Amino acid sequence: MIKTIPDEKFTPPFLVSTTNNILPQAVMFNDNIWGGIITGYYISVEPDVRVYVEDLNPTGEKTIFFIHGWPGSHKLFEYQFNELPKLGYRCIGIDCRGFGMSDKPWNGYTYDRLADDVRVVIDTLKLNNITLGGHSTGGAIALRYMSRHNGHGVSKLALFAAAAPSLVQRPYFPYGLKTQAVTDIINGTYTDRPKMLRGFADMIFYRYVTPEFLDWIFSLGLQAASWATAAIANTWLNEILFEDMKAVNVPTLILHGINDEVCLYPLAVAQKNGIAGSKLVTFEACGHFLFYDQREKFNDELIKFVEG
């Protein structure tokens, strides 16, 4: 059951008066409840565009804000959301525009616009002193946020198999995917998206996962809009984040699987070299979805970083 609040009353960053004074004025999903508090809602990031936000344990002392990778949603962090709130952490997951349960406009898939969406959510929820974590493309968005918004509200940055500083190879950066691989993803999105997604799923795990688990990951990809799926892939071709890395001025943790076939391990080395004072933790025998391949190690490293 969904309770809709009229759009004309939906002006971020504005908080309605509620019993817990935490929820933004939003479309509230009454079946998303944690400890008696509604956890799922929408936030308007620009006229006619709302993003979905999952907010678990909103009274937690320390906040971790998760940005998912392409072409998934906040649900990719299920095994973090299962555990971290038990330890007292507030866990916030955004569905980027075009993906998951968020609105799916035609435009707005540059790193600038996606970082601006994150800023609206942070301002609307009045977040401060958070750990901002991003996986894959979400890591690229997190880096752009740090440079474009000067790290507003962020005290620590965590990059999980981040698609930075460039997902693709360039004349001055020979370490990413070949451009043709991304072009094939774009063409596959427009001609046979389910087949393209199945092929991508074969690249993301190093360890065995069940067919049922792959089906679930596949379903998250299908939930995205096809135009958003292709647009983000075009962003990989068009944008770089070398200067963004230089702008990071908070403690930064880099978690990366050495067997990652999507964001190749040399990207993590480039991040370590490009972000002053950053720490790189290598995950052996681990692929792109390190929070599944080695979920316990992932959670442990993230907790140590947040508490450090």
Based on the residue annotation, tell me whether 288 is a catalytic residue of this protein: yes
Give the sign of the dihedral formed by CA 63, CA 102, CA 47, CA 27: negative
Inter-residue contact 170 to 271 (CB < 8 Å) = no
Residue 298 CA to residue 287 CA, distance in Å, equals 12
Give the amino acid at 70. Answer: W
Alpha helices, DSSP H only, in the chain? Answer: 78-81, 111-124, 137-148, 179-191, 193-204, 211-223, 226-238, 242-247, 265-274, 290-293, 295-307
Give the relative orientation of helices 111-124 and 137-148 as an angle to the nearest 10 degrees: 70
Give the sign of the dihedral formed by CA 72, CA 78, CA 80, CA 81: positive
Marked catalytic residue, from 44, 102, 136, 278: 136
User: Which structure tokens are listed for 6?
Assistant: 């009229």
Residue 265 CA to residue 256 CA, distance in Å, equals 7
Residue 24 CA to residue 30 CA, distance in Å, equals 14
Residue partners of 142: CB distance under 8 A and separation at least 6:
67, 118, 132, 133, 134, 157, 159, 162
Based on the residue annotation, tell me whether 136 is a catalytic residue of this protein: yes
Marked catalytic residue, from 74, 95, 288, 293: 288
Based on the residue annotation, tell me whether 44 is a catalytic residue of this protein: no
Q: Which residues are known catalytic residues? A: 136, 260, 288
